[in-house]
Amino acid sequence: MIRRILLHPDPRLRLLCQPVLAVDDAVRGLVSDLFDSMYDASGRGLAAPQIGVVQRVFVMDTAWKQGAPDPAVFINPEILSASAEQQVNEEGCLSIPDMPMRVARPAEITVMWLDETGVQRRGAFDGFAAACICHECDHLDGRLILDHEAAA
Ligand code: ZN
């Protein structure tokens, strides 16, 4: 189901999201709504607080705009390590429409998370995917791109 995406400065975008205790059908319903809402809004990532759910869940698909979809679900994500090397990407945010901003992020990260079946996963990411994961993890802590200094 397509849900309304909250817009900055909605205070619900600033809440600290709670960990998911059990990956059940309610969480899978949330994941399904996140994908519906993200694709409808033509985005590449969407976090639960952006549809008013204060839980540590986000979805991402960095590929679908260029070709085949590559949907990924992150529940209780944790960034385990981040490279000292930074990269700068122009990031958009569905909660701050039409105001892309250049943000510096770690060039490489390793992440641990649960997938939609509750299985623990671990992976390394770089490039746009790394930036997207950092952006969505920020949302789970109530942080927005506006909180970063604009990068040159
Ligand atoms: Zn965002």
Q: Give a yes or no: residue 61 inside a domain.
A: yes
Tally of CB atoms within 10 A around 75: 25
Q: Which of 85, 90, 136, 149 is catalytic?
A: 136
Unique residue bearing structure tokens 């949330």: 30
User: Domain tally for the chain?
Assistant: 1
Please, what is the average pLDDT of the chain?
Answer: 97
Cβ(108)–Cβ(129) under 8 Å? Answer: no
Tell whether the model's pLDDT for residue 75 goes beyond 90. Answer: yes
Residue 3 counted as domain residue: no
The rounded Å distance from CA 20 to ligand 1 centre is 20
For tokens 């999201």, name the residue: 17
Name the phi and psi angles at 46, rounded to 5.
-150, 130
> Does 130 reside within a domain?
yes
Sequence-ordered alpha helix ranges (H) in 1-152: 25-40, 127-140
CATH number of the CATH domain containing 86: 3.90.45.10
> Rounded to whole angstroms, how far apart are CA atoms 117 and 55?
16
pLDDT value for 152: 84
Domain assignment present for residue 52? The answer is yes
Let me know if 136 is a catalytic residue.
Answer: yes
pLDDT in tens, 93-103: 999 999 999 99
What is the CA(69)–ligand 1 centre distance, in A? 19
* 1 part of a folded domain: no
How many whole angstroms from 85 Cα to the centroid of ligand 1? 22
Q: Cα(93) to centroid of ligand 1, in Å?
A: 4
Give the residue-averaged pLDDT of 121-137.
98
Q: Which domain holds residue 27?
A: 11-147
SS3 of 67, please? coil
User: Distance of alpha carbon 152 from its chain centroid, rounded?
Assistant: 23
Instruction: Answer yes or no: is 6 within a domain.
Output: no
Task: Indicate whether 4 belongs to any domain.
Answer: no
| Residue-level pLDDT at 138 | 98
- pLDDT tens digits, residue range 6-63? 999 999 999 999 999 999 999 999 999 999 999 999 999 999 999 999 999 999 999 9
Residue 49's pLDDT is 98
In a domain, 103, yes or no: yes
pLDDT at residue 126 is higher than 90? yes
